[in-house]
Structure 1
Amino acid sequence: MWYKGIVMEVKDKYLIVMREDSTLVKIDIKDKPKVGERLIFTDEDIYEVREAKSLKKKNMTLFIALAAVLVLCILPIINNGNLKAYALVSLDINPSIEFELDENKNIINIYTINTDAKSIDLEDIKGLNIEEGVIKLKGMLESEKYNLKNDNMIVGFTFLRGIEDLNYEEDIKGIMGKNFNESKVLYLKGTKDDCEKAKERGISLGRYEAELDIDDDIEDIIEDMSVEEIMKLLNNNSGVYLNEEVKDEIEDELEDKLEEGQNDDREEDDSNND
């Protein structure tokens, strides 16, 4: 909108002008007019209006900048909060370790289950793809003088969202088999519920599944075992982990087998004496 006015006073930064309605306003200085000179101006020339707009623009710029900073700070927190594990892999060699993986097989969490595992610094593995992580872990174990050749290993695996992905699981099996091809690997699959129960007992998923398998078939297993095999199992040289109940049952079976062997020896001696 256009206005007419008369210059009443000239300041350093603005003019005081009387409009036709006898009101006074401040406007920007243009070409250093003289007092009493008539001029035409618009809303954009009014000093207070321009100053207020400039301040508003500065405040809006500051607000946008602060909002952007807040978004950058909050988004990682939100993303981490929503970062839900897709699968879990446990490794039992002697160190007992569990990896939580996302859908792309990246390691998002690492849990050290026993004392041996806690003595190894695994922080650099977090964030790596599972294959990269396994290769790095293998190097760490070898540097710690763990002999992986012909050693026993239990690999536990489960999905954590109730979703089964055969290709994903086969990839995990392949990675473990390829990188620990000199070890005797026992692969055991569990459930999310098994994970919770294993956590309550302070053992890995793989060890928990090994115990379940033994519990289910213990009678058939030990009946077909020789005394030597049973003793090896009890001495924990087989890579299979036993709970107390199962261990007691195996010890009872060992006693029975030893008694049977002694009886057989007596019968053989009696037969020879005859």
Structure 2
Amino acid sequence: MNYKGCVMEIRNNSMVVMTDHCTFEEIKLRKSIIIGMEIEFSTGDIIQRNRERFKGFVLIAAAILLVVVTSLSLVTYWGNNLQSVALLTIDINPSIAIEINEKQQVIKITPLNEEAGLLLAADLKKLHIKEAFDKIIEMAEDEGYIEKNGENYILITSVKLNNKNKLSFQIDQLVEELIDLQEDKRDDLVMIAKEADIHVLEKANREKISVGKMTLYQEVVKEGSEEGLLDDIKTKSVKELLKKEHPVFDQHPGSKNSNDDAKE
């Protein structure tokens, strides 16, 4: 019978091979063999000796293999489930920061002001971001931050947290889907999408505001604005900020009709 296997150990006159059926065999030593090499051998190459002594090596090798496989599984699990790959901030009047993983599940949610702390009574962790966003809108309406059939403004800002690794999804496309899902259900929301990088996020954290508001501030400053604007942005609601016309917008975001025309 012929076998295929990987050389696991080289001894004085023999070597130990793990077969492709995950069994271990001690066979005659060959020339020019190194550990890790894949070889073929037959039943005649197998050394028949005290199996009890050989059994000890098999157990040790199996234990090492189990540790390696388990470690790789844990690394993969951590990468897919526990590592934050993107951050979304949602500014209504409450400002909320949400970190998501590769599966687009919420793994961390941070209230950025007092209103948000009172709003987030429900645990949104492990929910898909679409379901979590839907619940946030519902809770904001229940608490009176969103007026039914009123004029409501929501700023959604996205940040990729790790520029070294390529994501399995497009963040801007995900934000578009979040907006479309809400606009399909209701017409009393004006939602603005922005993108920022990790440097803007760091500045926002230093100033203790959302990355969305920091993005608005930087865009307005580029156009040459008055002093004290940052303090103004810190204290005003998103509705107050977005209703005020600024040259950074191609059109006034407060105009629902203009937004609908732009989509067409």
Does 1:154 find its partner at 2:155? yes
2:182 to 179, 183, 201: 179
What is the letter of the counterpart of residue 211 of structure 1? Answer: Y
In structure 2, how many angstroms separate the alpha carbons of the residues matched to 1:205 and 1:234? 11
Distance in 2 (CA, whole Å) between partners of 1:179 and 1:134 is 9
Q: Give the C-alpha shift of residue 236 in structure 1.
A: 3.7
What is the count of residue pairs matched by the alignment? 182
Percent identity between the aligned chains?
22
Separation of aligned partners in 2, 1:239 and 1:207 = 12
Separation of aligned partners in 1, 2:99 and 2:110: 8
> What is the RMSD of the two structures over their aligned residues, measured on CA atoms?
4.2
Query: Contact 2:93 / 2:238 at 8 angstroms: preserved in 1?
Result: no
In structure 1, the gaps of 5 or more residues are 1-56, 221-231, 243-274
- Gaps of at least 5 residues in structure 2 are 1-54, 227-231, 243-264
Tell me the CA shift for residue 104 of structure 1: 2.2
Matched-pair contact (CA < 8 Å) for 2:85–2:99 = yes
Corresponding letter in the other structure for 1:183: L
Whole-angstrom CA distance in 2 between matches of 1:237 and 1:123: 23
* Aligned counterparts, 1:11-160, within 5 A: 79-80=77-78, 83-122=82-121, 124-143=123-142, 145-149=143-147, 150=150, 151-160=152-161
- Higher-Rg member (1/2): 1
- Bigger mean CA deviation after superposition, 209-218 or 174-183: 174-183
From 206, 212, 218, the counterpart of 1:206 = 212
More helix by share: 1
Counterpart residue identity of residue 214, structure 2: Y
* TM-score (norm: length of structure 2): 0.52
**2:83 & 2:235 partners in 1: Cα distance?**
39
TM-score, L = length of structure 1: 0.50
- Native 8 Å contact 2:87 2:99 kept in 1: yes
Task: Work out whether residues 86 and 101 of structure 1, in 8 Å CA contact, stay in contact via their aligned partners in 2.
Answer: yes
Partner of 2:47: none
Residue type matched to 1:173 in 2? Answer: E
Specify the code of the residue in structure 1 equivalent to 2:207.
R
Please report how far the alpha carbon of residue 166 of structure 1 lies from its aligned counterpart in structure 2 after TM superposition.
7.5
Q: Give the distance between the partners of 2:238 and 2:120, measured in 1 at CA.
A: 27
